[in-house]
Structure 1
Amino acid sequence: MAIKMFLINLPWRFLRAFSKGASLLRFLFRRLTSPAIRDAVHSSFDMMISKQLIAAHLPLDQPWTLAAIGLSAAFLAFICVFFLLTPRSRKDTPPVIGNAWPLFGHFFLFLKSPINLIKSSYQTYGSVFTVNLFTQRMTFLIGPEAAAAFFKASDKELGQDEVYGFMKAVFGEGVVYDSDPKKRNLQMQRTANALKSGRLRTYVEKISEETEAFFKGWGEAGEVDICEALSDLIILTASRCLHGDDVRQELFAEVSKLYNDLDQGITPVSVLFPNLPIPSHWKRDAARKEMVKLFSKVIQRRRAAGAAEAEARTDILQVFMDIEYKDGSKITDDEVTGLLIALLFAGQHTSSITSSWTALYLAQNKGLQDRVYAEQVAIRGQDTGSEAALRALDFDAVGKMDMLFNCLREALRMHPPLIMLMRQCRQDLLVQSQEGKAFTVPKGSVVAVSPSVQQRLPSLFPAPDSFDPDRFAPPREEHKPLFAYVPFGGGLHACLGQQFAYVQLKTVLSLLFSKFELTLATPDGAVPPPNYHAMVVGPTAPCTVKYRRR
């Protein structure tokens, strides 16, 4: 009986709460509605909270009545929150695209096909426009002129933490998006130093050794899913350079499995609810704890070995271990692990996906593939019909591979792994469109640049859907205009690891194409389409190629 009375009175508790907040509602309606609408709404609201009136007309002992009243109260609460959180338009704000659903805005259109929505909106509204996703406004800046505001903005103007904070569950506390600006700047500075040319020279040999050993497992001829193969190879080379020889040789299998659990723990659901109690999140959290344990053992062993051995190491694990903050405190094992995870996340998907796209397009186009091989011969030795006659790779040889470099850049132009780069406005942002209009993006809005859309604008890259590496070579050099080509971002927040990525990719692919001829063997004989359902966009499986050893 007591439970039944509680359930009967529960809707009235909701309604009393709304009644107590009537002053807030009236203030909201005075701002947003006309006098006639306010009078109608106030009358309806007064009717809703009249217990006697409802009791006279509704059978309160029926479950459906209680459910209806509860749902009505919840819906009213949602409406109030929606109007309170939705920013009001100003005259100089970017145009909001049409075809919005009530309350949901453009959420379903965006979810169905973000690229198509961005493309069609650009064609209709120009280079600066806004979509509404529930209560959140997202303003797109398409084209170099509009995107300049994004790439030139400081951390005081645009923030990353607000939009990428869900990654804290993977990276951990005190690093990347969870660290204060001074601490993060030091972490990023040390990362940048570790990825400069001095250390990159040592990485070419390590990447070559891993790649040579990997391709020994291939036969004289056969078929392989090139995306899966290159994904496996990229993580091997990354582990060797980032984690060091000891981790690669002793702990790679364990680290690789834990990394996979971390990777699978980031899904579209994680973006909205990073700590939702679901199996993929449980595995992710357990994997991170185990990863810290593994690396803590390595760190303690290295520190016990002394300064001489530390000085001789060139891997990035050692660079992170040596970080000391300006207040004199040392970096913790947990923070070192978090930075390693962040760097592996940043590089693994982008490098494996970019190498896959490049290999697929070259497998489809024998003429381009022959040019890549001819470049290898010209740089590394004589064409005797045998790959064994080519000299071993070194950093200087990798730097001369212009044709292969242009193929990589073209793959990144057509298929940037991240279809959007995002920031949140920490203050109003002034934007100049390519049409010559000035807009103010309000504080609290999310601003986004889409490399996928921008890098296929015909005004920047003629015949944008054609794989044409020569567009990067003189005299065309279509990528030259500032912020036209942004697969690694640009300005103050350009990717710190892009030079390492290019060295890694050129080393791997130069060895692949100097050893093997590839031909496409997909079901329809075409390069697979992008998989936009993935968090990082790569080719849709299967990615089958036939190979023949040279």
Structure 2
Amino acid sequence: MTVPGGQSLPPGFGGLMNSPPSDPLLLGLSCVAALSLLYLLLVFRPRTKGGSTAPPVVTSSPVSKLPVIGTIVEFATSPVKLVQRCYEDYGPVFTVPVSPRQHLAEPMPMTNDFLHKRLTFLVGPEAQEPFFKAPDETLSQNEVYCFMKPVFGPGIVYDATKKNRQVQFQSMANGLRTARLKGYTAKIERETRMYLDTWSDEGELDLFHALSELTILTSSRCLHGDDVRENLFKEVSELYHDLDQGLTPLTVFFPNAPTAAHKKRNAARAKMVELFSKVIKNRRDNPDQQHSDGTDILSIFMDVKYKDGSAITDEQVTGLLIALLFAGQHTSCITSTWTSLFILNNPSIMKRIVEEQNAVFSGREDANVEYKMVNEEMPLLHNSMKEALRLCPPLILLIRQALKDVKVKAAGKNYVIPKGDMVLISPSVGMRIPEVFKEPNTFDPDRFGPGREEDKSSPYAYMGFGGGMHSCMGQNFAYVQVKTILSVLFREFELEMVASDVPEIDYAAMVVGPKGDCRVRYKRRTK
């Protein structure tokens, strides 16, 4: 998950008196004095750890002449622009203080501890290396992503004990291994063709919306099984929508704030647990009935046992399904949209994509999509998806908390990130460095092809699915899902963008997608 924005001064911090002074001048002087005191606390508070090897601290910003206050506003407005500016001004390692709450002894109620930390950024393959190589005991995710507990539920992923989390991750990995992906390919194609059959022979539609619907349909078929997809899909998708809408920038800092969105989120999760508990009970009570083909991930989660011998609860099964759906839904629908739009905006690439598809299915035009085809025989489509992820990664920031001092070497300098700092990398910035990727703002899927392979210049140059020990375990499923959908789409329809260029990136969203016109004109190809 990512943090697309920050927050300025928290409610109640340095609050005013209950009754405002009657003299406007006195009120003005009081405000000036309070702000001045806050300013002095922020600017002149020294680092308590790190010493001379600590990364440089960014206190100035073009947004405001007030040190620190300006960086807070800049971070809240556009984290990516701030990281890019500071990388150019300070180098590959730097620290940004984001909140005056760092001076409080205890966090305020209902807040995420993220709000009370300094943010230390690592930019570029060399600087990013310790981020991807350090174990959880050094750089931890748990303290960062605790705001997801109300969505996933207690005891799931980042709220689980280390041993239970390992079992949960292993069960997820079992559901996403190659043997199962081969079966999922057929399911994804089936759902895609059923969905495309509802389109008229020609028309106009919002591609982002269409691919979002198609992604959750295919995901439900693979994750939940046939019984849920056929009988409960509408209810599950509506509950998922409420869960999704309950994750806002405010959630990151105040995960339990009493907002309308959070109340709907909590109600949706409770209803989701109730719904899947009935599904699980029905499967267990009626093992001889054909609920699914047994390859769905729900079937795997139902049989999980922890190392202490205890069985997974129905609530935890539901939480794992929600976690997987969250992880995959945004990434796949956004990436399939960007991939399609970039291809359509480049006629020469579009022509080659169609030629590649025709070559794969030459002499077997009516053949089903097979795993081997999407995994081995569509290199241009694969590299186009990979390039779309490089230009428009859904997660603009990846975050850990330093539980120990962390040594970093970059650009000939040695740094020590003090224990307690939040450590961040930005795939959005790190994958557009011209020294690593030539003409980094240009869509060029051939940069990954033979003879170039720019992504292999460093183990941590490409971060489309993270990297190192915490690389995304669902990346192979995402590639199969997106490439299968697009293979069918490009073979069945001629497409062209309505707009003259690809839309801007919506950096204000929790998971960034396209901002603007995603409409396409389509026409069914004649056989």
Q: Same fold (TM over 0.5)?
A: yes
| CA displacement 1:60-113 (0-9 Å, x = unmatched) | 997779999999999899799979997456110011124164564621111122
- Of 295, 311, 317, 2:276 maps to 295
Q: Equivalent residue for 2:396? A: 419
Q: Equivalent residue for 1:283? A: 264
- For the pair 1:99 / 2:60, whether they are aligned, the reply is yes
Contact 1:105 1:133 in 2 (8 A): no
| CA displacement 1:312-340 (0-9 Å, x = unmatched) | 50000111111001111100010000000
- Of 76, 80, 88, 1:123 maps to 88
| CA displacement 1:210-256 (0-9 Å, x = unmatched) | 00000011122111110000000000000000011110001100000
Corresponding letter in the other structure for 2:343: L
| CA displacement 1:361-392 (0-9 Å, x = unmatched) | 1111222112111111111224xxxxx93421
DSSP 3-state at the match of 2:271: helix
Rounded to whole Å, the distance in 1 between the matches of 2:80 and 2:32 is 37
Contact 2:394 2:513 in 1 (8 A): yes
Rounded to whole Å, the distance in 2 between the matches of 1:372 and 1:108 is 43
Contact 2:120 2:421 in 1 (8 A): yes
Cα 1:188–1:77 shift into 2, 3 Å = farther
Rounded to whole Å, the distance in 1 between the matches of 2:171 and 2:245 is 28
Per-residue deviation, 1:258? 0.5
DSSP 3-state at the match of 1:162: coil
Contact 1:414 1:456 in 2 (8 A): yes
Cα 1:304–1:526 shift into 2, 3 Å = same
Corresponding letter in the other structure for 2:444: D
Corresponding letter in the other structure for 2:406: L
Rounded to whole Å, the distance in 1 between the matches of 2:126 and 2:248 is 33
- Of 454, 458, 461, 1:484 maps to 461
- Of 354, 358, 376, 1:373 maps to 354
TM-score where L is the length of structure 2: 0.87
DSSP 3-state at the match of 1:94: coil
In the comparison of the two structures, how many residue pairs are matched?
A: 483
Contact 2:225 2:291 in 1 (8 A): no
Corresponding letter in the other structure for 1:411: A
Q: Equivalent residue for 1:403? A: 380
1:102-251 aligned within 5 A: 102=67, 104=69, 106-134=71-99, 135=102, 136-251=117-232
1:267-278 aligned within 5 A: 267-278=248-259
Rounded to whole Å, the distance in 2 between the matches of 1:61 and 1:267 is 33
DSSP 3-state at the match of 2:216: helix
Contact 2:387 2:445 in 1 (8 A): yes
Contact 1:380 1:392 in 2 (8 A): no
DSSP 3-state at the match of 1:91: helix
Cα 1:477–1:109 shift into 2, 3 Å = same
Q: Equivalent residue for 2:405? A: 428
Q: Equivalent residue for 1:529? A: 504
1:55-70 aligned within 5 A: none
DSSP 3-state at the match of 2:454: coil
Per-residue deviation, 1:306? 2.9
- For the pair 1:444 / 2:420, whether they are aligned, the reply is yes
Rounded to whole Å, the distance in 1 between the matches of 2:493 and 2:85 is 42
DSSP 3-state at the match of 2:415: strand
Indicate the structure whose relative CO is greater, using CA pairs within 8 Å and at least 6 residues apart.
Answer: 2
Structure 2 unaligned regions, length at least 5: 1-18, 103-116
Contact 2:226 2:292 in 1 (8 A): no
Rounded to whole Å, the distance in 2 between the matches of 1:301 and 1:77 is 63
Percent of aligned pairs with the same residue? 50
Contact 1:381 1:391 in 2 (8 A): no
Q: Equivalent residue for 2:446? A: 470
Contact 1:142 1:453 in 2 (8 A): yes
Rounded to whole Å, the distance in 2 between the matches of 1:311 and 1:98 is 57
Corresponding letter in the other structure for 1:119: Q
DSSP 3-state at the match of 2:204: strand
Per-residue deviation, 1:128? 0.9
- Root-mean-square deviation (CA, aligned residues, Å) is 2.6
Rounded to whole Å, the distance in 1 between the matches of 2:335 and 2:352 is 19
Q: Equivalent residue for 1:39? A: none
Q: Equivalent residue for 2:514? A: 539
Contact 1:310 1:318 in 2 (8 A): no
Greater than 6 Å deviation, 4+ residue runs: 60-86, 307-311
Contact 1:364 1:520 in 2 (8 A): yes
Q: Equivalent residue for 1:519? A: 496
Rounded to whole Å, the distance in 1 between the matches of 2:20 and 2:256 is 39
DSSP 3-state at the match of 1:235: helix
- Of 348, 353, 360, 2:334 maps to 353
Per-residue deviation, 1:267? 0.6
